[in-house]
Structure 1
Amino acid sequence: MNNSKFTTPLASVQWLFFIFANTIVVPISVGTSFDLTPDQIAVTLRSSLIFTGIACFLQGWIGHRYPIMEGHSGIIWGLILNLGMSASSLGMSFTQIGGGIASGILLAGIVTIILAAFNLTSVVQKIFTPMVASVYLFLLAFQLILTFFKGMLKIEDDGTLNVAVSLFSILLVLFVSFLKIKGNAFLGNFSILLGIAVGWILYLILFPGETAAKSVSPEGSIFFPLGLPNLEWGIVLIAFLGGMMNLSNTIASIQAAAKLYQDEPEPASFRRSFFLTGSYSAFASVLGLVSYAPFTSTIGFLESTQLFKRKPFLIGGAMITIMGIFPPLVSILVTLPVTVGNAVLFVAYLQLFGTALKSIQGTAFDSKTIFRIAAPLLIGVSIMNTDPAVFRDLSVYISPLLSNGLMMGILLSILLEAFVKWE
């Protein structure tokens, strides 16, 4: 069915929903965390969709040239949410914190551009070794699965579980998994699209009072909605460090994609991707958006759908940008039930764990060298499952870093690779 005249249009729509589902929650959650008005959140949402579509298209066309979604970095997203929730304990206003974040992200974007311009990406690759990339893949798989598992459960305002909606999500997971495992090639390839379509329709029938049309207003300030850049050095330093560690996304994504396509990534691919990602991130700070990076999790999506052509990805990115330009289109798609999107992505990202396992194939571990992957991985997962409030009594400049399991796992892996001679 890959040669069918329907494959490219359906695959393009599937990419659209995949990119949309991975994008929409980020600006909304950040805007809510920083107490933005509904109009401001609507503006950042539209900016996010327009810019994400452009970022995907350019990376697939002239960047690394793989069909890998370019989206808001999970590392920076978690860091920003943590800082927003810590505003009161930091004794700072949202605009002070937001301005410091903007400065740090802008600086990280500029440094990334410089690394690409002066062909210094090989230095970054020496820091983010294949083992560091493996740790990152495992931690990302755990973080995403935890996020989407919680997201597919319907938790009411009083903290109780909506059993009916949550059970529906579980059944949707089983349905998509069945399409993937037991269905023919066509059904397996489009299991994500079919899951979203069937889940959305059934949700509207079974739970008509749970969804309603939402108006997306184009009003509000476009530039620096979180706050004007400032020199709150503690916040700037944390955001900058996060931006530099964000480069692990690019390294891991290109390496994983190259293995999937059974080729060797060219140094120029890293350089082009770094330049675009740095440019996106610098511009994202102006629009109040989370830094950009290639989504390593896209590898799980590709392995799940088995659709490796680049053309549908480019069309899907272009469609996302067009959709963001027209508020009525956004108003329709934002009615997609959050639990449905999370349930379908939960299945898609199960494949990412397989990608992580493949990344360490051929590596021998004994009672000593197992620490090479076990220590950063399990410590990172432990921090992910620890309430961030535990770290609030520590210095305001290190608590956001220490409470981020993904960043701490990557940092520990970098240190172990740099200072321990495992061979």
Structure 2
Amino acid sequence: MPSLSKPAFSLAGIQWLFFMVVNTVVVPLSIGLAFGLTDAETAGLIRTSFIVVGAASLLQSLIGHRYPLLEGHGGIWWGLVLSLCASAPAMGLSYSELGGSLAVGMLLAGIVTIILGAIGFTELLQKIFNPIVLVIYLFLLSCQLILYFFKGMMGIGDGGAINLPVALLSVIIVVAVLVMSMMGRGSIANFSILIGMLGGWVAFVLFFGNETTPTSGGTLFKLLPLGELKLHIGIIVTAFIAGLINMANSLVAISTVESLFEERTTLKQYQASYYVTGVGTIVAGLFGLIPFGPYSSSIGFLQSTRIFQRGPFILGSALFIVLGLIPALGGFFSTMPETVGDSVLFVAYLQLFSTAIRNVRRLPLDNISMHRITIPMLVGLSILNVPPETFSAFPVMLQPLISNGLLVGVLLSVIMELASRNKLKELTQ
């Protein structure tokens, strides 16, 4: 990989910083809204997220898996928490009970992630999460989050109608970033994400004004802001399963990025990665954050920018920590219009979806394999597209699990793979 000049190195670090901002800021904002937190509490959650995401990413690049992969709020965790918030009234739960039970589940999941990483669980995980299961995971994760980003970039409000002027600007941003990343050369392609974010932000302010005011202040690292520790077995078990699948997310992201760097990841790297992710999950449970994991969307970012060096990523991670420590800076970046951030993330997840499609092409597509792919995909998609209230007839303990399309799709895929011929024999060898 050619070395970058100092100006290009700095710009690449700033580009990573903006990518971290748009991937991170929307998560604590959505959690604050879902749990009914005050503006000050949400501001504190945002700043805490910036610091912890920056620190976790820095640790992963230096002592963890050692790839330039954003260690951010896990998509599977984010989708789970938002879906549980939507279904909490139907389950007869207050938000403080939900938040407290989730915290317990996250703490347990973090501890187990560290323990399983230490005892070499990676090898068994690689056998369970074979290429077919990984395709299902990438496909459903892309669909779950890209639907969320699509609604944001189209300006779809509570009434369900598209805001046409906002949607038009979003489409222009998406097309511009895609054209720059696929057809541009040199710096244009390398900094397509940064150009799209900055240009989109300026255009949004010019045409629509600044719709949000900077937030500042807020308490950093407030303990258990979503509720005191509670024991709701169904939520704790669901969170625990999410933690195990999040370990598979690390496996997916790391094994997928290997092709870009043309190298094999050692078991020690996986082990170190799980240590960082496990500690991050414990921190998330204590301070009301969404637990962490390597972001598969970083792969799309790397494919778009074609800058694979760790140095700019380390610089971006360090700057992200600074943003969280300085209230005014963190408040300023929190004003980035949601539609602009969602438009850029839409492009990143298009790349991730493309990765899932490329992985499908490598599979032996006989009749058995096709059923092993299509059934989990369609079941997961079906659940993703129905409201949580649909599952109110199920026992309360099962509702948190059965109402999550990503979890159900991945678990169904794992079960079908374990039931396939010779699979159980392979696991015992």
TM > 0.5: yes
> Which runs of no fewer than 5 residues in structure 1 stay unpaired?
none
The answer on 1:12 being equivalent to 2:7 is no
Contact 2:86 2:388 in 1 (8 A): no
Q: CA deviation at 1:142?
A: 2.0
Matched ranges for 1:391-406 at <5 A = 391-406=391-406
Contact 1:67 1:308 in 2 (8 A): yes
Percent of matched pairs sharing the same residue: 42
Range moving further from structure 2, 306-315 or 124-133: 124-133
Aligned to 1:73: 74
Q: Secondary structure at the match of 1:369?
A: helix
Aligned to 1:357: 357
The 1:276/1:220 distance shift into structure 2, 3 A limit, reads closer
Q: Secondary structure at the match of 1:289?
A: coil
Contact 2:234 2:400 in 1 (8 A): no
Aligned to 1:153: 154
Q: Which amino acid in structure 2 is aligned with residue 168 of structure 1?
A: L
Rounded Cα–Cα distance in structure 1 between residues aligned with 2:263 and 2:215? 46
Q: CA deviation at 1:105?
A: 0.7
Q: Which amino acid in structure 1 is aligned with residue 36 of structure 2?
A: D
Contact 2:132 2:363 in 1 (8 A): no
Q: Which amino acid in structure 2 is aligned with residue 20 of structure 1?
A: V
Aligned to 1:101: 102
Q: CA deviation at 1:64?
A: 0.3
Q: CA deviation at 1:322?
A: 0.7
Q: CA deviation at 1:390?
A: 1.3
Contact 2:380 2:409 in 1 (8 A): yes
Q: CA deviation at 1:396?
A: 1.9
Rounded Cα–Cα distance in structure 2 between residues aligned with 1:362 and 1:340? 34
With normalisation by structure 1, the TM-score equals 0.95
Aligned to 2:316: 316
Rounded Cα–Cα distance in structure 2 between residues aligned with 1:232 and 1:149? 33
Q: Secondary structure at the match of 1:246?
A: helix
Matched ranges for 1:31-42 at <5 A = 31-42=32-43
Q: Which amino acid in structure 2 is aligned with residue 187 of structure 1?
A: I
Contact 1:324 1:330 in 2 (8 A): yes
Q: CA deviation at 1:221?
A: 7.2
Q: CA deviation at 1:87?
A: 2.4
Matched ranges for 1:55-204 at <5 A = 55-204=56-205
Q: Secondary structure at the match of 1:71?
A: strand
Q: Secondary structure at the match of 2:6?
A: coil
CA deviation vs aligned residue, 1:194-229 (integer Å, no higher than 9, x gap): 001111111111112x42432222248700011122
Range moving further from structure 2, 157-166 or 398-407: 157-166
Aligned to 1:366: 366
The 1:225/1:239 distance shift into structure 2, 3 A limit, reads same
Rounded Cα–Cα distance in structure 2 between residues aligned with 1:32 and 1:288? 13
Rounded Cα–Cα distance in structure 2 between residues aligned with 1:256 and 1:240? 24
Q: CA deviation at 1:151?
A: 1.4
Rounded Cα–Cα distance in structure 2 between residues aligned with 1:61 and 1:221? 24
Contact 2:153 2:167 in 1 (8 A): yes
Aligned to 1:253: 253
The 1:212/1:36 distance shift into structure 2, 3 A limit, reads closer
Contact 2:45 2:220 in 1 (8 A): no
Q: CA deviation at 1:328?
A: 0.1
> Which runs of no fewer than 5 residues in structure 2 stay unpaired?
424-429
Rounded Cα–Cα distance in structure 1 between residues aligned with 2:23 and 2:275? 23
Rounded Cα–Cα distance in structure 1 between residues aligned with 2:14 and 2:143? 27
Rounded Cα–Cα distance in structure 2 between residues aligned with 1:8 and 1:359? 32
Q: Which amino acid in structure 2 is aligned with residue 300 of structure 1?
A: G
Contact 2:106 2:281 in 1 (8 A): yes
Number of equivalent positions: 422
Q: Which amino acid in structure 2 is aligned with residue 163 of structure 1?
A: L
Contact 1:192 1:348 in 2 (8 A): no
Contact 1:39 1:220 in 2 (8 A): no
Q: Secondary structure at the match of 2:396?
A: coil
Rounded Cα–Cα distance in structure 2 between residues aligned with 1:126 and 1:274? 17
Contact 1:369 1:422 in 2 (8 A): no
